[in-house]
Chains A and B, each alone.
Chain A
Amino acid sequence: MDTATRLDLYRMMVLIRTFEEAILREYHADKKPVFDIGAGAIPGEMHLSAGQEPVAAGVCAQLTSADAVTATHRPHHFAIAHGVDLHRMTAEIFGRVDGLGKGRGGHMHLFDPDVHFSCSGIIAEGYPPALGQALAFQRRGTDGVAVAVTGEGAANQGAFHESLNLAALWKLPVVFVVEDNEWGISVPRSASTCITSNADRAAAYGMPGRRVEDNSVEGVHQAAAEAVARARTGEGPSLLEVHTLRLWGHFEGDPQAYRHDLDGVPGRDPLPTYEQELRSAGVLDEAAVTSAAADASERVEDAIAFARRSPAPAPKEAADLVFA
């Protein structure tokens, strides 16, 4: 892989991690000393994507803003990698008028039509709409691709299976991505799924399936290249599962008492691993690491400052916007 691409992947992973760490900080800042989920500048459930950066960075590097992404309850990494407006996304997470949804949606409901991005808090329910976006691209004769994302837990939901069948039947330009972080909240993959690779399920629906091990951003990048090319050239959908890592809790405030693998988690963090790999390969030096961190931090803090400056929506307008 060429140096520029590797650097781009690394910098994207750094940007995502920097964002998630900043949201983590802001989320907890005013929930102390006693954690109250409804308190503070960012209230509500918060599902952060730290550890899963390789999936979003690798897949979205193959996309343009004319392609669609439907993400999950854990959407930030895909939103950032797909080029969702960082300022307006952050403002939405803060529930402000300049947010993508003017404060109506929140962190699980980010919609940026400029880059065909959406997400849903209902498990696996982002899959079906991706089919329709792909259908629209197909009918309109663009070469747009729709990427539908779920977790491995969601792969046991009916919508997942119905969508795979329909996409294959209609040869839709879709790439189905499954992020296997080994956990669906407290339920380990072994307690929810009998087979070890969801890629095997693709065969049942008549499409190629591939699993990338080791949370490897370059592995994802390459596998996504094939799947996206296949979709773009009208050959139909593919399924790509990535063995990734939930670095933090399911949501913030999750005590993770159920999680027997916790001790091994820090050692599996993909960011230092990739950084080390790129340093050894002579692609990254100290200066490049420092500048990636500084650039990411500047963009993220700028977005947070923007969000904080934006006013809260007026309560008297709460019932607006139900209809067009």
Chain B
Amino acid sequence: MSLTDASAPTTTRRLSTSKAMVEAIAAEMDRDQDVFVMGEDVGAYGGIFSSTTGLLDRFGPQRVVDTPISETAFIGAAIGAAVEGMRPIAELMFADFFGVCMDQIYNHMAKIHYESGGNVRVPIVLTTAVGGGYSDGAQHSQCLWGTFAHLPGMKVVVPSNPADAKGLMTSAIRDDNPVVYMFHKGIMGLPWMAKNPRSVGPVPEEDYEVPIGKAAIARPGTDVTVATLSLSVHHALDVADELAGDDIDCEVVDLRSLVPLDTDTILESVGRTGRLLVVDEDYRSFGVSGEIIARVAERDPGLLTAPPVRVAVPDVPIPYARGLEDAVLPTADRIRSAVFGVMGR
């Protein structure tokens, strides 16, 4: 089964995003003995953001492995195991920590398939937590998906809700390529962090894949396309609901994957609305927002009846103080003003 649009799940069972993620991992571990999990605090702790809760009890320490704080060594080890045909899931606790292990990721994980002329496959899932909004400062709040997506050779998925989190995880584990699975802390439905109601939602019990590379129309609309991803989808939907009262009909496109990027869905949407707003929690320059606008411009700048607008983190490290962080994140306030702006109001 494959879920290709956001409204597909026909179930009333509701799970948090973290539980949905874990359900997919457990099902794949049941199905395929080659799947195993490793990372810091993935065992007894269950993942700092509950991405592996209960897996140790169920599968034991051979398949759910706590590692030393040695990211280069264990992510490199996951790559090697994948090269030998296993299907490891390695967790980098925060995407911000990529600096200590990036060589294994972008010079090895991402390039081996190409360098080997397609003879060596690296079926690894690199899971990592991203995002801010709770004052964790400049080294623990970044999204950085633009950095990963920029480097060729790895798929990048960015779920925004529980059903997609499960389906994208299943697809990622089954994919024969390296997949970076970036989950925002704010969508996990954690009891100890303020959360948007959308971080708990309906999740089908059976196995299903959400195809990597297919965006979803999270909310259809006619006036402006809001292309966005991850937690920002929640904010965009909140604003869209609110602005419906002001007679502005927003179409919210949930990208779901950055690599591959579903350019067609974005273009079709912009073709209908004529207006584009990109909302991205990563840094503004040289990233997702510029890429999306470039793809539209490359195909047909005539699709746009107004200049495109982007709401992203201005090029500044994420500040600690509440008011400062709110000022740089793509909050509902900033999204609302941007919608008014692109609508010429």
What's the minimum C-beta distance from A97 to chain B, rounded to whole angstroms? Answer: 9
- Complex: chain A residue closest to B97, CB-CB: A122
A185 touches B193 (CB 8 A): no
B323 touches A154 (CB 8 A): no
What's the minimum C-beta distance from A1 to chain B, rounded to whole angstroms? Answer: 35
The answer to whether B66 has its CB under 8 Å from any CB of chain A is yes
| CA A109 to CA B96, docked complex, whole Å | 15
A316 touches B327 (CB 8 A): yes
Residues of B near A123 (CB, < 8 A) are 69, 97, 100
Checking B69, B137, B138, B323 against A153 with a beta-carbon cut-off of 8 angstroms, the contacting residue is B69
A45 touches B70 (CB 8 A): no
A109 touches B139 (CB 8 A): yes
Which residues of chain B (199-237) have a CB below 8 Å from chain A? none
Q: Contacts A37-B192, A43-B322, A157-B100 known; A318 to B69 CB distance under 8 Å? A: no
Q: Tell me whether chain A's interface is mostly helix, strand or loop, or mixed.
A: loop
Checking A106, A122, A153, A192 against B135 with a beta-carbon cut-off of 8 angstroms, the contacting residue is A106
B97 touches A106 (CB 8 A): no
Checking B100, B191, B317 against A322 with a beta-carbon cut-off of 8 angstroms, the contacting residue is B317
Checking B66, B70, B97 against A186 with a beta-carbon cut-off of 8 angstroms, the contacting residue is B66
The answer to whether B106 has its CB under 8 Å from any CB of chain A is no
What's the minimum C-beta distance from B75 to chain A, rounded to whole angstroms? Answer: 12
The answer to whether A258 has its CB under 8 Å from any CB of chain B is yes
How many chain A residues sit at the interface, stated as a range, is 35 or more
A106 touches B320 (CB 8 A): yes
| CA A96 to CA B322, docked complex, whole Å | 10
B48 touches A185 (CB 8 A): yes
B68 touches A313 (CB 8 A): no
Q: Which of B135, B193, B317 has the most CB of A within 10 A?
A: B135
The answer to whether A234 has its CB under 8 Å from any CB of chain B is no
The answer to whether A238 has its CB under 8 Å from any CB of chain B is no
Checking B191, B194, B322 against A95 with a beta-carbon cut-off of 8 angstroms, the contacting residue is B322
Q: Contacts A104-B319, A319-B314, A322-B317 known; A158 to B70 CB distance under 8 Å? A: yes
B41 touches A185 (CB 8 A): yes
| CA A101 to CA B192, docked complex, whole Å | 27
The answer to whether B43 has its CB under 8 Å from any CB of chain A is yes
A313 touches B321 (CB 8 A): yes
Residues of B near A104 (CB, < 8 A) are 138, 317, 319-321, 324
Residues of A near B323 (CB, < 8 A) are 312-315, 318
A313 touches B324 (CB 8 A): yes
The answer to whether A39 has its CB under 8 Å from any CB of chain B is yes
Checking B44, B72, B100, B137 against A109 with a beta-carbon cut-off of 8 angstroms, the contacting residue is B137
What's the minimum C-beta distance from A107 to chain B, rounded to whole angstroms? Answer: 8
A185 touches B72 (CB 8 A): no
A156 touches B320 (CB 8 A): no
Which residues of chain A (126-169) have a CB below 8 Å from chain B? 153-154, 156-159
Residues of B near A314 (CB, < 8 A) are 323
| CA A319 to CA B285, docked complex, whole Å | 14
Contact flags (1/0) for B308-345 with A, using CB distance below 8 Å? 00000011110111111111100000000000000000
| CA A192 to CA B139, docked complex, whole Å | 24
| CA A125 to CA B96, docked complex, whole Å | 13
Which residues of chain B (79-117) have a CB below 8 Å from chain A? 96-97, 99-100
| CA A123 to CA B97, docked complex, whole Å | 9
The answer to whether B133 has its CB under 8 Å from any CB of chain A is yes
The answer to whether A266 has its CB under 8 Å from any CB of chain B is no
| CA A106 to CA B315, docked complex, whole Å | 19
| CA A36 to CA B99, docked complex, whole Å | 29
Residues of B near A158 (CB, < 8 A) are 70, 72-73, 100
Q: Contacts A36-B193, A106-B135, A258-B44 known; A153 to B68 CB distance under 8 Å? A: yes
| CA A303 to CA B322, docked complex, whole Å | 20
Residues of A near B317 (CB, < 8 A) are 104, 322
What's the minimum C-beta distance from A129 to chain B, rounded to whole angstroms? Answer: 14
| CA A109 to CA B139, docked complex, whole Å | 9
What's the minimum C-beta distance from A12 to chain B, rounded to whole angstroms? Answer: 27
- A residues with a Cβ closer than 8 A to B are 34-39, 43-45, 95-96, 101, 103-106, 108-109, 120-125, 153-154, 156-159, 184-187, 191-193, 253, 257-258, 312-319, 322
Per CB-CB distance, the 6 closest pairs between chain A and chain B, nearest first, are A38-B134, A106-B320, A95-B321, A103-B321, A43-B135, A44-B135
18 residue pairs A–B, Cβ–Cβ below 8 Å: A38-B134, A43-B134, A44-B135, A108-B139, A109-B138, A120-B139, A123-B97, A156-B69, A157-B69, A185-B45, A185-B48, A187-B40, A192-B67, A258-B44, A318-B314, A319-B314, A319-B316, A322-B317
